[in-house]
Chain A
Amino acid sequence: MSNILKINDLEKTYTSGSKKLTVISNITFEVEQGSVFSIVGPSGSGKTTLLGLCAGLDYPTSGSIELCGTALHDLNEDERAALRNKEVGFIFQNFQLLPTLTALENVIVPLELQGEKNASKFGIALLEKVGLGDRLHHYPSQLSGGEQQRVALARAFSNKPSILFADEPTGNLDEETGEKVIQLLFELNKEAGTTLVIITHDLDLANRTQQILRLKGGKIISNEKTSAI
């Protein structure tokens, strides 16, 4: 199976005055297309920085990233945005829904940006799939945390991404709601055949993925396949 994400000798350093802070270094790994991949590590280990780099949201200090067969360092900002719009989905810990848009509008905005004519129809179908068919016209502030994350799930899958990055998707949810969201995430992912990259603290969740990348102090300490299918 081909690799959808290839990271080679990645380093990210922040400079503050004369001081340099290396957040991640010597990062090399690959993610197979269609697999479920997790990145685990303690706070400050560079997980979110790595996700931002992998998704083309940030620029590395050195090293290369190949996403969906495209080398990110060859792309300008507009081209990166276009690639993300077509190939990448995101789920964030704090949902990142637009507060002035309804659940349905939040889901269909990426589709409208793609010029999809049946955006509303597709958006309704997605929200019904995540069990929010009766909350289409509710604003994020009128939804619970779990419901907001389900809207975020629907939005993430709306543009039929090739790869989905989930940064602590259950971090703001209680255990029961978090488990429901994860089950839904895995179901939607299986159905769509999307590659899933999850950043998590939760080792139980990580053990349900096919490969676990462990980070500590900005470096890889292990990269192992699991028995999960």
Chain B
Amino acid sequence: MSKIYSKPNFQWLLKMAWRDGKASLSRLLLFMASIILGIAAVVSIQLFSDNLKQNIKLQSKALMGADFVIDSKQKPTEKTQAIIDSLGADASEVNFVSMAAFPKNNGTKLVKVRAIEGAFPFYGNITTTPKDAGATYQNLGGALVDATLLLQYKIIPGDSIKIGELTLPIIGELKAIPGSTAISSSVAPTVLIPFRFLDETELLQYRK
């Protein structure tokens, strides 16, 4: 038999879609708005995720303060130390939690002591008041104490802090340092001391 009509063309399909759509315009708008919102939500989440990953990637060095960190809860063995040395580690740190005292007013507080040797941090800065205290505390042989802790105990730079058997002058207020989080600082505020004074605290003991 002869072909008496052709399949509907695209233009006719569009016309039918428009006819269907205008019959319930409000529902169509709601439907389209739902699709738009859905896509926007998916794109936003994806974008947020990508931005977060990108920022972490960009700031990871500054957050850690170094290219890599080797962390151990024990004193490294000779073999381990040799491996660490072969990697060319430029700074070292011993940190622990201890009670600290302020002789000025006999205040005591649980603090996190970070004894640092070398030019740490390699990325980012130690933020202090006065501004240059982060660069000078090693040479001046003093401590940098968490700013909130100083405020809490009404201590000012120039006063002293006693950690174990060691008493050091406070060189400045410590506001931020790579490797410390706000949560850990709220429990045990950070106190930075030069590594060379660590033994004098007599707080460090190794297993035999």
Contacts and interface: CB of A to CB of B under 8 A. Distances in A.
A82 B3 contact: yes
Contact of B19 (A70, A75, A85, A100): A100
Nearest to B3: A82
B88 interface: no
Contacts of B4: 82-83, 85-86, 114
B1 to A, nearest CB: 6
Q: Is the interface of A mostly helix, strand, loop or mixed?
A: helix
Interface in A76-115: 79, 82-83, 85-86, 99-102, 105, 109, 112-115
Nearest to B21: A100
A113 B3 contact: no
Contacts of A70: 1
18 contacts: A70-B1, A82-B1, A82-B3, A83-B1, A83-B4, A85-B4, A86-B5, A99-B23, A100-B20, A100-B23, A100-B24, A101-B19, A101-B20, A102-B19, A109-B16, A112-B12, A115-B5, A139-B23
B80 interface: no
A21 B180 CA distance: 83
A86 B2 CA distance: 11
Interface of B: 1, 3-6, 8, 12, 15-16, 19-20, 23-24
Nearest to A79: B1
Contacts of B15: 112
Given A100-B23, A100-B24, A101-B19, A115 B6 contact: yes
Contacts of A99: 23
A112 B16 CA distance: 11
Contacts of B1: 70, 75, 79, 82-83
Contact-residue bracket for chain A: 10 to 19
Contacts of A109: 16
Q: Top 5 A-B pairs ranked by shortest CB distance?
A: A100-B23, A100-B20, A86-B4, A114-B5, A82-B4
A113 B24 contact: no
A65 to B, nearest CB: 15
B23 A101 contact: yes
A86 B8 CA distance: 15
A159 to B, nearest CB: 10
A222 B19 CA distance: 47
B12 to A, nearest CB: 6
Contact of B8 (A83, A113, A139): A113
A79 B4 CA distance: 9
Contact of A85 (B5, B12, B16, B23): B5
B32 to A, nearest CB: 16
A99 B20 CA distance: 9
Contacts of B5: 82, 85-86, 113-115
A212 to B, nearest CB: 32
A167 to B, nearest CB: 24
